[in-house]
Amino acid sequence: NAGVMQNPRHLVRRRGQEARLRCSPMKGHSHVYWYRQLPEEGLKFMVYLQKENIIDESGMPKERFSAEFPKEGPSILRIQQVVRGDSAAYFCATLGEGKTEAFFGQGTRLTVV
Partner 1 sequence: DAKTTQPTSMDCAEGRAANLPCNHSTISGNEYVYWYRQIHSQGPQYIIHGLKNNETNEMASLIITEDRKSSTLILPHATLRDTAVYYCIVRVGNSNSGYALNFGKGTSLLVTP
Rounded to the nearest 10°, the torsion over CA 6, 27, 94, 71 is: 90
Which residue lies nearer to partner 1 by CB, 18 or 56? 56
- Considering only residues 59, 64, 76, 87, which one is a binding residue for partner 1 as defined by CB under 8 A? 59
Question: How many C-beta atoms lie closer than 10 Å to residue 38's C-beta?
Answer: 13
* Region 76-105 residues binding partner 1, contact defined as CB under 8 A: 89, 91, 93, 95-96, 99-105
Let me know the angle formed at the C-alpha of 105 by 60 and 95, rounded to the nearest 5 degrees.
Answer: 75
HSE (CB half, 13 Å, CA atoms) of 77? 33
22-41 footprint of partner 1 as x/- string (CB under 8 A): ---------x-x-x-----x
Residues of this chain that interact with partner 1 (CB under 8 A) are 1, 4, 31, 33, 35, 41-45, 48, 55-56, 58-59, 89, 91, 93, 95-96, 99-107, 109
